[in-house]
Structure formats: C-alpha cells, structure tokens
Structure 1
Amino acid sequence: MSFGKSIKALVAACVVATTASVAHAETRLNGSGASFPFPIYSTWFQDFSAKTPDASVDYQSKGSGAGIQDLINGTVDFAGSDAGISDEDIVKVSRGVVALPMTAGEIVLAFNLEGIQELRLSREAYSGIFAGEIERWNDPAIAATNEGVDLPDEPIIVIRRSDSSGTTYVFTRHLSAIDPEFKENVGIGTTVQWPQSERFVAAPKNDGITAMVMQTPGAIGYIEYGYAKLTGTPTAALENKAGKFIQPNETSGMAALAGADLSSDDLRIWIDDANGDDAYPIATFTWLLFYEKYDDPKKAELARAVIEYGLTDGQKIAPDLGYIPLPEVIIERIREEVKRIK
C-alpha cells in the first residue's frame, strides 16, 4: 500500500472511530404521550437538542393514556399526560414518578359553520351539545346568545376523541363540574361513554379532531387552543362562572391559572371551572412524568437539564404557540420537585 493510501486509510479509520465515539457519547431521552402539548414539546425538544452537544430528546404524540402505559412498561424515559397520573398508576412504576406541570393551555370548542366566525355558547348550550341533548345549530339555547347570527337549521356534528385522552379527561371534568346530568350520564375519564348517536364522530388525538372539524360542515370539537391558533380554526366564546363570554387567549388563560388552588402537597393541580371575571372557563396544566430513579445517571442529568430549559427559554415561547406561561410560584415548586430525579 502506498504512503498516500495509508494516510487515507488512517484518516478514514479515525473518522469512523470519532463518529462511533460521538454516537456512543450521545445521551438520549425518548418520551411519548399527550397530544395536547405536542406543538410546544416538539419545539422545545428540537431547540434543546440543537443547543446541547451529545444530547437528544424525542417525543411521540400518542395520547395521555398510551404515554402513561409506556412509562409503566418502562419503554420510554419520560411521558406526557394531560390527566396527570393517578395514585393507582404511580404504584405500578417501580422506579417512582415525578409529575411536573411543565406548561398549561385552554381547551377550546372549534367549530365549522359557513359564514360564521364568531359564536357565543352558554354553559347550558355547550354542555347540552356534548351531552347529546342539543342537536341542531338553531336550537333556542344557542340562538339566545347569538342574536343577529344566521344559525343554520342543520344537525350538530360532535367530534370527540377515539383514543385514551387527557384532553377528554380535563374536558369531562369541566362538564361534570358545571352540569350534574352530564356527570351522571357521561362521566369523567380519559375515555367515556359518549351518547350513542350518528352525530358523534370519533377522531384520534388533538390534530385528528382539528382536521375532522375543519373538513366537516356543521362540526364542533374540543381541542387545545394552540391547534386552533396554528390552523386558524374559529373557536367559540364560552360563558364562564361569572356569566361572561370569554374568548381563549393568553390573557384569559393566565386569569384562569391565577385562580388555581395551589394548596395540594404535590403538583397534580386541577382547574375544573376557572374563577375570575376575565378567566376562560376550561384551562389546565399538562404534565411531564419522569422516573424518580434512572439506571443511567447521565439520563437523570439530561432530564433535569431539559426541565430547566422548559422553565426558562421554554416559557418565553409558550404564548406564540398558544400555551400559557406558568406562574412563578409553580416554577419554584417544580425546581424543588426536580431534586427528586436521580
């Protein structure tokens, strides 16, 4: 072999060795779960991975129920859930669970009515729609709060989740809080028995419901505000506890978080029916679930770094993506909880 070829071979070997070393050195975190926060998580993790040498964080949108099950099965390094995690599921995770509310959002009612961009729905109206009791768009309960709007005499097509969903859990908690009959007949859960009607159509994940609403005349569905904002889908102004009709946005979302009860010992904090004159009625935190103990200390270190990114740079971009920045008091409590991750 000539001297030149020998040098080329040596350089090639060094490149292979260096590449292998870098690949070996890279620490990866793989997560799955809620679709509600997917737009913001995917943005966070891509930016964090780009800025952090030898580290990579990936997240798959599967629904909260699937994410929690992956965490229990040990097939992921972390999970996302809009339903938090129950005590019953925590005991199934041998390595322990640290549940952190990393962002917050509003559940909105996206609709598709030709020629109508603004719609006001009373508590009676929107709970009645999802209970299956209000069936047509020109129902008196809807018409009463939409004077001058030419509501069509057409059936309401209700788009609901087909998968195990934290968004469904939060939405049905709210509907059950404002309507005892809904609580009795439909109930609360990541999956529930929606009315058996051809008007109720199932779709997977937040993006699936968004797409179904956009392509179905006469449809209404519940999604995270960020999906409506990114797609330009109209959303209804909803009557809050104070009797005011409120549009979802950063201001009304922050007003909802301001009224949250923070007295619980852990960070599984719920806002079933937001307080405050200016509060949008359906707001929620959404959680990242990490193991308390990792087999690889580098993964624990990376998890803590990702969380800190979310609490700093991540919060700054939340409004642009349709999410609500966390109150400082919550951020301080999260930083204390993060110390449990080893």
Structure 2
Amino acid sequence: MLKHVFATLISGSLVIAASAQAQDAITGAGATFPYPVYSQWADAYQDESGIGLNYQAIGSGGGIQQIVAKTVTFGASDAPMTKEELDKNGLMQWPMVMGGVVAAFHIDGFDGESLNLDGDTLADIYLGNITNWNDDAIAELNPDVELPDAQITPVYRAEGSGTNFLFTNYLSKVSEDFASTVGEGKSVAWPAGVGAKANAGVASQIGSTNGAIGYVEYAYAAQNELSLVHLENSDGNVVEPSMESFMAAAGNAEWQDAPGMYLVLTDQPGADSWPITGASFILMHKEVQDAEAANQALKFFDWAYSNGNEMAQELDYVPMPDNVADMVRDSWSDIQGPNGDAVWNQ
C-alpha cells in the first residue's frame, strides 16, 4: 500500500481510486498536504465499500475555489477559512488530520543529514538576505558542522496553497521583517528563489537543485530522502521534525473554543513542539444540491475518523482525537439537502 501511495506521488497523478465508476466516486479537490494519507484511506475505503474517491490535489486555493463554485462535493484546505468567510459562502469546515510542514534541503557532497536553523534565519533565507550556506548566521547555529561554500536556492510553492499559508504564517510570527515585507497568505510575492507546483513539485525541485531549501509536508520529504532542517521552537529548543514533535504541537489545539473551527497551530508553546504544525480542513456547503453525494462523502469521513488513525500515523500525520471527531460528527447535522432535511442522520 505504501509503495502505491508514493508511486502515485512521484507520477503526479491527481486522482485517487480512479478505477471507481463515476457514479460511485466521491468528488473533492484541494490541498496536497494531506494527499498521501487521503490516498491510503481511499484505497482501504474502496476495498471495503466499493465507493472510490476522485480527489484533485490542486492546492488549497484551488480547493476553495471549486467548493465555492459547487463543482465538487467537498473542498480541502490547509489554510482555514474564517467564520466570516464561511458564513459569506454558506460553508462549514472541520479538521480532518494534522501534520507538520518541514524545511528540507539538498547540498551536493554534504555529509550531514540535518542542519539547525531558527525562525529568523529561515526568514532571512527566504527574504534573500542570506544567500550562502556558510553564512555566519547559519554557522553560529551549527558550530560543529563544516558548511559548504554553496549558493542557497530557496524553493517555494508557485500556486496558492495551504502549505504556503502555514509556512508564511510561521515566518510572520517569528520575523517582523518577514511580516512587514512578505506577510502571510496562501499566495505571496516571494522576493527570492524559484517556484514549483504542489508539494511533490517542491520536493522534486529541492532534490534536483544543488543548494536548494524548501518547505513541504513531511511525507514528501521522506519519500524523496531529503535532508531535514531541525528548527528552534518557541521555547528555544531545537527540535527534529517527527511524529512526536507534531503531536506535541497538536496537543495545544482547543477546537471547542475556535469559531468556525478556525485554528492555526504554528509556533505553539511546548519544549518538544514542532513550530510549523497545522491541520488540514474539509469544506462543505451547509445547503447541498445533491444530498446523496454529500451523505456518501460524510460516510467516508466518518469511516476515516474511526478506521484511519493507524494509516495516518504510519505517514507521520497526527489523527484527530476522538472527542474532536465526535464534535465534528455532531456539526454535520447542519448540512441540509434541497428539501431541508439533514443529510447526516447516523
């Protein structure tokens, strides 16, 4: 199964469970951040139910556009919409899974598997203020490492994406210069570097470019065997990106107090917290035109909450806690079909 997932990532295919007939497939579009785990869930769910998932991994910005336009049953975004944005578009959202965005790099001939950075230094790299790997700021954070005299090439997401949002949200929190110059958003004007499309494209660009650094969801960095940055967190500790550090950051999430379930988990406190952690959200209309399609989608999400935790953890995602999953299921009663009846009646 894992080989199938990563083969799909490498091929750039955007369709999960494509063997399902169109009338037996749930349609969705959006974030590439959760694509590896959605692919595993989709395969397992189709084996069990016969219902496939046709999911276009086009980025969070595209997912929001498609669900607003009602061309798919659900959208997926790693950049949550505010309560005001949801109300304006007649949407609701909920977190499906959590995970970490990591900074990965590739330097020809470099023997180490990791380098230490802090938020200010990472921001300065993306601002174009630090352009060489043996810069004094990097050397100070890595006193026992022989740094190469190599040019840094920052790689960024070329399209609107939730991964962009999480990364720029974090850098805006830790660097006043970045906040005032670039700011946070699904799509920003980068002052330096080269762009690539989707998590898979960024990972590939990093792996093929000497001196590159970029930001991707953890599974993409692992599959491409990229060296990873260890990052200083808000407690001043340098932490390794891992399931444990993602869980440490996710443990601070208070979903019950978040209006519209809007919650961003970057730069969370905690000695072991990974600084660039976030949730991936599902978006659906409160009033749907096709009640059966909406019901099929909710059955899949219900199944994933109940049966998908082990698959998520194998790919270093953090499953949603049971109490949050139950809260989400309760919220589905707000989704109504054309006749005003609730779509979800489990």
Task: Sort the TM-score into its range (normalised by shorter chain).
Answer: 0.7 to 0.9
The C-alpha deviation readout for 1:108-150, integer Å capped at 9, x for no partner, is 0010023231211122211211222111101111111212211
Partner SS for 1:339:
helix
Identity %: 33
- Residue 237 of structure 2 is matched in structure 1 by 244
Where in structure 2 are the equivalents of 1:318-337 lying within 5 Å? 318-337=312-331
Q: Distance in 2 between matches of 1:86 and 1:69?
A: 15
1:121 maps to 2:120:
no
Whether the 8 Å CA contact 2:86–2:260 is kept in 1: the answer is no
Report deviation, 1:294.
2.5
Whether the 8 Å CA contact 1:35–1:61 is kept in 2: the answer is yes
Whether the 8 Å CA contact 2:97–2:320 is kept in 1: the answer is yes
**Structure 1: gaps of 5 or more residues:** 1-21
Q: TM-score, normalised by structure 1?
A: 0.87
Where in structure 2 are the equivalents of 1:1-342 lying within 5 Å? 26-53=23-50, 55-87=51-83, 89-91=85-87, 93=89, 96-113=90-107, 114-115=109-110, 116-195=112-191, 197=192, 200-262=193-255, 263-341=257-335, 342=343
Whether the 8 Å CA contact 1:169–1:189 is kept in 2: the answer is yes
Q: Distance in 2 between matches of 1:261 and 1:285?
A: 12
Q: Distance in 2 between matches of 1:27 and 1:340?
A: 24
Report deviation, 1:280.
0.8
Whether the 8 Å CA contact 2:82–2:260 is kept in 1: the answer is no
Partner SS for 2:325:
helix
Greater gyration radius: 1
Report deviation, 1:315.
1.8
Whether the 8 Å CA contact 1:107–1:224 is kept in 2: the answer is yes
Q: Residue type of the partner of 1:214? A: G
Larger deviation, residues 180-189 vs 127-136: 127-136
- Residue 7 of structure 1 is matched in structure 2 by none
Report deviation, 1:307.
1.1
Q: Distance in 2 between matches of 1:130 and 1:325?
A: 31
Q: TM-score, normalised by structure 2?
A: 0.86
Q: Distance in 2 between matches of 1:42 and 1:129?
A: 33
Q: Distance in 2 between matches of 1:330 and 1:155?
A: 45
Whether the 8 Å CA contact 1:122–1:239 is kept in 2: the answer is yes
Whether the 8 Å CA contact 1:27–1:302 is kept in 2: the answer is no
Q: Distance in 1 between matches of 2:84 and 2:189?
A: 22
Q: Distance in 1 between matches of 2:156 and 2:21?
A: 43
Whether the 8 Å CA contact 2:207–2:224 is kept in 1: the answer is no
Report deviation, 1:182.
0.5
Report deviation, 1:268.
1.7
Q: Give the alignment's Cα RMSD to 1 decimal.
A: 1.8
Report deviation, 1:23.
6.6
Q: Distance in 2 between matches of 1:299 and 1:32?
A: 15
Q: Distance in 1 between matches of 2:296 and 2:153?
A: 45
